[in-house]
């Protein structure tokens, strides 16, 4: 999201990723988050005097573009991952009183609570029996660097009541079908009750979500199939993506290429190329798309609006 402005202009209103020598670096700007909307709007207003009209229009469009809420994004990240690091307070030995981390597998229940199958032989199991307070860190699948999503849930982890244990085991087994050991006598189901979720989805895109908001949110239905769709579009319909961005986004400078980074039910994140480098921008859908076919239909419909040739509907 590139603005040709002075250093004190709209540099705090959005996030730019420039690719230099094969490495992504964040160069100013913060992607707007819901809880920061008014702050960013004020900053944009104050900077307007030093900005071009096109740049201000672009910044406002990106701030207002429909996107999943922070709660939805955190629930989505947790739903996509299968393992994380649980940090407990060591109850014995040289580590007593210090945080102790361990990698565990998990599955979420329908309110976003993590379910674990833990052995009585594990140190973190004994820690939890002694002190329920803990944190649980999850990263997005394929996590490589700090430009990608991660979050930490802080809360209380307790044994699942016996009356609910069978249901919890079934949910865990469905997510981890090779977990034959779940029925061993020394394994017990535990459940984490979140107090707060702190997230970071990339450069200057951090915040927190409360327990009630997190529980009420639902994972994005397009996220699990986002990358296959994006790969297909980038391989076969890159010119169509370019046309859609040019038509639906009030750009402040001409672009020569556009590559989809990911899809969600409300739109797509696109990496654009202009004369000064590469930058990410948000392209909202004209209405929500809840299925793969709906995303395809949306893409074709938006492309038709650009008067460009539509991709083969059979693909």
* Cα–Cα distance for residue pair 96/216, rounded to 1 Å: 36
**33-37, 77-81, 235-239: which has the minimum mean pLDDT?**
33-37
Question: pLDDT: is 1 or 293 the higher one?
Answer: 293
pLDDT digits (tens, 9 = 90+) for 59-82: 999 999 999 999 999 999 999 999
Classify 21 as helix, strand or coil. coil
For the purposes of burial, counting CB atoms within 10 Å of the CB of 237, is it exposed (0-12), middle (13-18) or buried (19 or more)?
buried
Residue 100's pLDDT is what? 96
Strands, E assignment, the chain: 17-20, 23-26, 83-89, 99-105, 107-108, 114-119, 133-139, 150-159, 187-200, 206-210, 255-264, 267-274, 277-284
Same domain, 90 and 195: yes
Cβ-proximal residues to 152 (8 Å cutoff; 6+ apart), any chain: 135, 136, 137, 138, 197, 198, 199
Res 35 pLDDT > 70: no
Mean pLDDT, rounded, for 207-230: 97
Is 166's pLDDT higher than 80? yes
In a domain, 5, yes or no: no
Residues 25 and 80 in one domain: no
Residues 57 and 80 in one domain: no
Q: What pLDDT, on a 0 to 100 scale, did the predictor assign at position 20?
A: 33
Final residue before a domain boundary, out of 216, 234, 259: 216
Domain count for the chain, please give it: 2
Better-predicted residue by pLDDT, 23 or 176: 176
Q: Is the pLDDT of residue 178 over 90?
A: yes
DSSP per residue, 166-214: HHHHHHHHHH-TT-GGGGSTTEEEEEEEEEEEEEE-STT-EEEEEHHHH
Does residue 2 belong to any structural domain of this protein?
no
Nearest to 195 by CA among 153, 158, 137, 160: 153
| Residue 310 covered by a domain | no
Supply the CATH number for residue 62's domain: 3.20.180.10
Average pLDDT over the chain reads 85
Nearest C-alpha neighbor of 68 from the set 273, 170, 221: 221
Q: Tell me the mean pLDDT in the region 260-279.
A: 95
What integer pLDDT is reported at residue 26 of this predicted model? 32
Together in a domain, 84 and 208: yes
pTM score, whole prediction: 0.79
310 or 279: which leads in pLDDT: 279
Percent of the chain predicted with pLDDT > 90: 77
* Torsion angles phi and psi, residue 230, rounded to 5: -60, -40
Q: Are residues 95 and 207 in the same domain?
A: yes
Judged against a pLDDT cut of 80, whether residue 42 lies above it is answered with no
Q: Phi and psi dihedrals of 105, rounded to 5?
A: -90, 160
Task: Indicate if 84 and 202 belong to the same structural domain.
Answer: yes
Comparing CA positions, the residue from 184, 166, 149 lying closest to residue 76 is 149
Domain boundary among the residues 182, 216, 250 is at: 216
> For 104-158, how does the pLDDT look when each residue is reduced to its tens digit (9 = 90+)?
999 999 999 999 999 999 999 999 999 999 999 999 999 999 889 999 999 999 9
* Secondary-structure breakdown of the chain: helix, strand, coil percentages, each rounded to the nearest 5: 35, 30, 35
Asked if pLDDT for residue 313 goes beyond 90, the answer is no
- Assess contact for 267 and 66: CB atoms under 8 A: yes
Taking 90 as the threshold, does the pLDDT of residue 203 lie above it?
no
- The answer to whether residues 59 and 77 belong to one domain is no
Predicted pLDDT of residue 202:
84
Q: Which domain holds residue 127?
A: 73-216
pLDDT at 279: 92
Q: CA-based Rg of the chain, rounded to a whole angstrom?
A: 22
In this structure, the answer to whether residues 145 and 166 fall within a common structural domain is yes
Q: What CATH code is carried by the domain that includes residue 173? A: 2.30.110.10
Confidence of residue 307 (pLDDT cuts 50, 70, 90): confident
Between 55 and 161, name the one with better pLDDT: 161
Query: How sure is the predictor about 102, in pLDDT bands with cuts at 50, 70 and 90?
Result: very high
pLDDT at residue 18 greater than cutoff 90: no
Does 232 lie in the same domain as 143?
no
Lowest mean pLDDT among 45-59, 159-173, 228-242, 249-263: 45-59
pLDDT number for residue 312: 54
Residues 192 and 298 occupy one common structural domain: no
């Amino acid at each position: 999201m590139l603005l040709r402005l002075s250093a004190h202009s709209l540099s705090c209103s959005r996030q730019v990723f420039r690719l230099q020598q094969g490495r992504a670096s964040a160069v100013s700007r913060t992607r707007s988050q819901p809880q920061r909307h008014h702050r960013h709007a004020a900053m944009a207003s104050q900077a307007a005097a030093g900005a071009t009209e096109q740049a201000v229009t672009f910044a406002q469009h990106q701030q207002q573009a429909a996107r999943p809420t922070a709660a939805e994004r955190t629930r989505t990240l947790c739903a996509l991952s299968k393992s994380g690091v649980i940090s407990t307070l060591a109850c014995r030995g040289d580590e007593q009183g210090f945080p102790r981390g361990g990698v565990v597998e998990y599955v979420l229940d329908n309110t976003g609570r993590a379910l674990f199958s833990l052995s009585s032989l594990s140190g973190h199991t004994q820690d939890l029996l002694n002190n329920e307070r803990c944190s649980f860190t999850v990263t997005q699948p394929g996590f490589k660097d700090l430009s990608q999503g991660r979050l930490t849930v802080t809360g209380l982890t307790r044994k699942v009541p016996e009356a609910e244990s069978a249901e919890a085991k079934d949910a865990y087994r469905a997510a981890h079908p090779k977990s034959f050991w779940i029925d061993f006598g020394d394994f017990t189901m535990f459940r984490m009750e979140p107090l707060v979720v702190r997230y970071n989805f990339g450069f200057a895109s951090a915040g927190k979500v409360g327990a009630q908001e997190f529980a009420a949110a639902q994972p994005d239905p397009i996220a699990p199939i986002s990358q296959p769709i994006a790969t297909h579009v980038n391989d076969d319909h890159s010119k169509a993506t370019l046309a859609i961005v040019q038509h639906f986004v009030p750009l402040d400078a001409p672009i020569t290429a556009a590559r989809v980074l990911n899809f969600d039910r409300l739109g797509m994140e696109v990496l654009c190329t202009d004369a000064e480098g590469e930058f990410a921008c948000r392209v909202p859908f004209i209405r929500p798309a809840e299925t793969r076919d709906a995303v395809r239909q949306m893409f074709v419909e938006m492309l038709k609006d650009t008067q460009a040739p539509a991709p083969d509907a059979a693909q």
